[in-house]
Amino acid sequence: MSKLFLVICDRLLILSSSILRPSLSFQNKASIHSTSHIYPCFAMTSLALKHLHSIASRYQIYLYLLLALLSGVLLPIQASCNAQLARSLNSVPLAADISYIVGTLVLFVLIATQKFGHPDWSAIAKAPKWSLIGGVLGTWYICSSTYFTSVLGTTLTLGLVVGGQSLAGIIVDHHGWLDLPKHRLTRNRRFAIGLLIVAIFFLAQS
């Protein structure tokens, strides 16, 4: 819905800009005088649309932040579900495998709906070979988080996971590895990592 709102704002902004652009056919003073009192109205409309567009952009950013926060909320639930499944099946790899199968079925449904673009299966051969390692790393994450949740608890396990993710993410961002854009390691980021390490230390002591 937010994307549709932004598209509508863009179209209205383009329309108002095209109206504001003086036509070359107005060459005499009478034509200019007859239209000059109309332009301020369109100018105010254009400014209002620009302001509306900026509000919509901020709204979209807030929506993305909330969705990212929701993803973090779902992680401990997923880890707890996998840990319970592993206890029921008496096998961590089997529980992780079933989790992957269920997730794959859900992903196939999403692909079939084509709500996230039209997939190009032939482009798999053109993708970098190292990008396929994600499945192996995902297997390690699912199995390890499933096992350690039963041993260390959900809070400490995911605290360590988030700490490792943040440290690796800052290093990757700072150097621009894996064809990702560079994001400099600022003082605020270093301070945030320090607070995260302190938080993990206190979690481990409890």
Range in 55-59, 60-64, 86-90 with the lowest mean pLDDT: 55-59
Has residue 48 got a pLDDT over 80?
Answer: no
- Backbone phi, psi, residue 115, to 5°: -80, -15
Range in 40-49, 68-77, 82-91, 116-125 with the lowest mean pLDDT: 40-49
Mean pLDDT of 84-111: 94
Q: Using alpha carbons only, what angle is made at residue 108 by residues 104 and 111, rounded to the nearest 5 degrees?
A: 135
Structural domain spans, the chain:
2-152
24: alpha, beta or left, given left = phi > 0 and alpha = psi -120 to 50? alpha
6 near 57, Cβ under 8 Å?
A: yes
118 token code pair: 């039209």
CA distance 169 to 189: 11
Mean pLDDT of 48-77: 81
What is the secondary structure of 53-101 as a DSSP string?
HHHHHHHHHHHHHHHHHHHHHHHHHHHHHHHHHHHHHT-HHHHHHHHHH
Tell me the residue type at 28: N
- Residue 36 has a pLDDT of 44
CA proximity to 56, closest of 10, 1, 2: 2
- Residue 83 has a pLDDT of 94
Has residue 97 got a pLDDT over 90?
Answer: yes
CA proximity to 160, closest of 189, 199, 192: 199
**pLDDT tens-digit series, residues 4-37:** 445 554 554 454 444 444 443 444 444 444 444 4
Q: How confident is the model at residue 103 (pLDDT cuts 50, 70, 90)?
A: very high
33 near 56, Cβ under 8 Å?
A: no
Higher pLDDT, 206 or 77: 77
Range in 4-8, 70-74, 106-110 with the lowest mean pLDDT: 4-8
**pLDDT tens-digit series, residues 158-176:** 999 999 999 999 999 999 8
CA proximity to 176, closest of 166, 186, 185: 185
**pLDDT tens-digit series, residues 132-164:** 899 999 999 999 999 999 999 999 999 999 999
Range in 3-7, 84-88, 99-103, 123-127 with the lowest mean pLDDT: 3-7
Q: Using alpha carbons only, what angle is made at residue 137 by residues 135 and 138, rounded to the nearest 5 degrees?
A: 60
pTM exceeds 0.85:
no
